[in-house]
Amino acid sequence: MAPRVRCCVAVTFADPVAVELDVVRRVLGSRSIDWIVPHITLVPPVDCTPAEAWEWVGRIGAFCTRTAPVDLELQGFATFANRRITGHLPVRVGQEDLERWHGQLTVARSSRSYIPHVTVVENLDSETSSILEHQLSTYELGVRADEVTLLVAQVRGQRREWRPFLRALVGFGGMRRRAHRSVRAVLSRSSPVAHSLRCSQVSCWLMDETGELLGWVEAINGPNGVWVLNAPVLLDSDLVGFGFEELVVGELLDYLSPSTVVARSQVEILDAFGAEPLSLEGARLLGLHRFALTTVGSSAVEDPHTIKWKFLSFSTR
């Protein structure tokens, strides 16, 4: 099964605007400073396959080609109260432009109204929110909406962290800001849903500097805390043999920090990390004879006792 990822589209800001907004967030006690950059959401988070995420790249590029930057004014302080009270800086000037941007980029329509804003604090009580609304009533900040970013959720510890996957400059033909590396690996929780903190599958996908997906590898949480590695997938056969498989597998293993990883014998990539054959008795002790082998490419009729495994221990790392 292809990995899934949670994405959203937002207006982001360059310094010094981003710095000032982070100062406001820090003063107000925001707990999300380290998890997401200051932004104005254009398309709320959605779950995507890698192919669908790549479609977002093209959609954003086309949008930025035919769109001009707009000047905005953030004024005052307001709150949303759903399950929790969150405080934000409302967009008072330029709201109509952002509503138009939202309408052009949104694929799935929602009955919820779109209110452009920058979230600056979370989990307020009603008394504190009233005080902040009064104290920040005269706050104003002029910003320029000239950068549209595709943000991708990654899980770090017990938190979901949003990182820029693609930054497109509005009015410059969808020009992409290059990554600092020509090739990079991005980790994501996958099935059952990308943003779940408790899931049975983790993926790492390889992209070039433009954000194009080059391949991926998945690890499945098996019995007894063992992670079972699937064979890497490279979409471009010309990349085989140049160490890209080792890059994504290495990133995935560093992220999982496992004590034990196994793979079926035909998954040769694990050999580069010092994997050893696993006996049938070892497989039985790890619970692999009861493991749903269809999740790692086994046919339903294959006898699990005939499957040969490779074993990689991290106890000495």
The pLDDT of residue 195: 32
> What are the b/e assignments for 252-279, b being 16+ CB within 10 Å?
bbebbebebbbbbeebebbeebebeebe
- Over residues 21-26, the mean pLDDT reads 94
> Is 183-313 the same fold as 5-169?
no
Between the alpha carbon of residue 191 and those of residues 28, 198, 199, 202, 261, the distances in Å are: 35, 10, 7, 8, 19
- Residue-range domain boundaries for the chain: 5-169, 183-313
Amino acid in the structure at residue 285:
L
Residues across the chain: 317
pLDDT top residue among 308 and 139: 139
Question: CB within 8 A of 120, min separation 6: which ones?
Answer: 21, 24, 25, 28, 30, 38, 77, 87, 88, 89
Determine which helix (DSSP H) or strand (DSSP E) holds 281, and give its type and residue range: helix 280-285
Tens digit of each residue's pLDDT (9 = 90 or more) over 212-250? 777 778 888 888 878 888 878 777 666 666 677 777 787
Choose among 162, 214, 170, 133: nearest CA to 45.
162
Q: Give the integer Cα–Cα distance in Å for 252 and 247.
A: 9
Model confidence pLDDT, tens digit, residues 3-12: 677 889 999 9
- Residue 307 identity (one-letter amino acid): I
Q: How confident is the model at residue 184 (pLDDT cuts 50, 70, 90)?
A: low
What percent of the chain stands above pLDDT 70?
76
Select from 3.90.850.10, 3.40.718.10, 3.40.630.30, 3.40.50.720 the CATH code of 183-313.
Answer: 3.40.630.30
**What are the beta bridge partners of residue 276?**
311
Residue 303's pLDDT band, with cuts at 50, 70 and 90, is low
CA dihedral (244, 247, 252, 255) in degrees, to 10, reads -160
Ranges 191-200, 262-271, 283-292: which has the least confidence: 191-200
Q: 171 falls in which pLDDT band (50, 70, 90)?
A: confident
**Is CATH 1.10.580.10 what the domain over 5-169 is classified as, yes or no?**
no
